Amino acid sequence: MVVPGRYASRFADALAALDASGVSASAKLAAYADLYLQVLRDRKMCLCGMLAAEYQTLPQPMRDAVLRFFDSNEVWLESVLEQGRQDGVLQFAGSARDAARMVVSGLEGAMLVARPYGDIARFQSAAANLLAGLTAADTRPLAAQA
């Protein structure tokens, strides 16, 4: 059995690499969604997402590991979202924490629903729409946007 801690550690390493890359907040969000996409392309599911479905039956150490995974992802996303809001490239109602929870929930749910269909495009469409809702509208006059 794969230990959730190892899975979470590899995911955290991917997030650290995104931070080190120096790309924009919107690019980080797209890359974050791509992490989920890669798992789905490998015909797998997010381990912690699957374990969350059986959370009540798990031993306490695994429960703790699942919560740590989601908490750390939300903290990372909250930081990215807040930076994007400050830079004017992302917009969302409410707090960055609430938006981060929406992103995690949306991607986990999109992955879960796409899998039985064997339809990666279904996930990609849901993820693209989710992220598009966070992208700041171009407020320049229409003539300047052309």
Question: Does position 2 have pLDDT exceeding 90, yes or no?
Answer: no
Average pLDDT, the chain: 89
Question: Does position 73 have pLDDT exceeding 60, yes or no?
Answer: yes
Question: Does position 57 have pLDDT exceeding 80, yes or no?
Answer: yes
The CATH class given to the 4-145 domain equals: mainly alpha
Higher pLDDT, 139 or 69: 69
pLDDT mean over 42-48: 84
- Residue-wise pLDDT for 86-109, tens only, equals 999 999 999 999 999 999 999 999
Q: How many Å apart are CA 19 and CA 27, to the nearest integer?
A: 11
Q: How many Å apart are CA 48 and CA 39, to the nearest integer?
A: 12
Sign of the C-alpha dihedral computed for residues 23, 24, 29 and 34 taken in this order: negative
